[in-house]
Amino acid sequence: MSNENENPTTPEEEEGKAPAEEQPSEAPREEEAKAEEAGATNALKEKLTALREEKPALFYGGIAGILLLLFLIFKMFGGSGVEQLKVPTIQVGQTYKLVNPNVTGGGDVLLFQAPGRMGATDPEIREKEKVCVVSAGTPAKVLEQSVVNYVKYVKVEPVEGDCAGKQGWTSIVNLKAL
């Protein structure tokens, strides 16, 4: 009786082909690459250390030059792309146009009973606190100024339109010079 496991044959040998050669593993190549990187890093570190010790002015001048270059690059290309609204210098008693700069081309302005209510998200509170909706471009007289949570507000009284004679608060950015 013969044992099939004594001399196992591969399908290639049964067909008369030579067995395929084994491919070398990739592990030695990866190790060589890591060793080369470590060697390059050590060589660069040694060169920089030698430069720092032999010519410190050149070494530190190079660092300062790189930092200056990075600063200039960030200064030129690092803007947020957002324009800041120009807040006019407001004088109590003067008349200004009311225009909402958050609407393209300017929009209507809400007047509220108290400063700081502009961001009320509850519709019931907004309706309860709202004094009037002033059409864009309506002239209004500034009566008072206030700051709430670092935001400037002004109390105004529209001089014409549906809200004429009513007084309310709005953000200072809603004012434009006539």
- Report the predicted TM-score, pTM, of the whole model to 2 decimal places: 0.50
**DSSP, res 100:** B
**In the prediction, which pLDDT does 121 show?**
67
The mean pLDDT of 151-162, rounded to a whole number, is 92
**In the prediction, which pLDDT does 94 show?**
92
CA angle 127-131-134, nearest 5°? 110
The residue that leads in pLDDT, 18 or 68, is 68
Predicted confidence (pLDDT) per residue in 7-20, tens digit:
566 555 555 555 55
Nearest to 116 by CA among 166, 154, 163, 157: 154
Q: H/E/C letters for each residue in 34-93?
A: HHHHHHHHHHHHHHHHHHHHHCHHHHHHHHHHHHHHHHHHHHHHCCCCCCCCCCCCCCCC
Domain ranges across the chain: 25-77, 95-176
pLDDT at residue 63 tops 80: yes
**In the prediction, which pLDDT does 166 show?**
93
Judge contact between 173 and 103, C-beta under 8 A.
no
Please list, in sequence order, all residues whose beta carbon lies within 8 angstroms of the beta carbon of residue 120, skipping any fewer than 6 positions away: 126, 129
The residue that leads in pLDDT, 157 or 15, is 157
**In the prediction, which pLDDT does 76 show?**
82
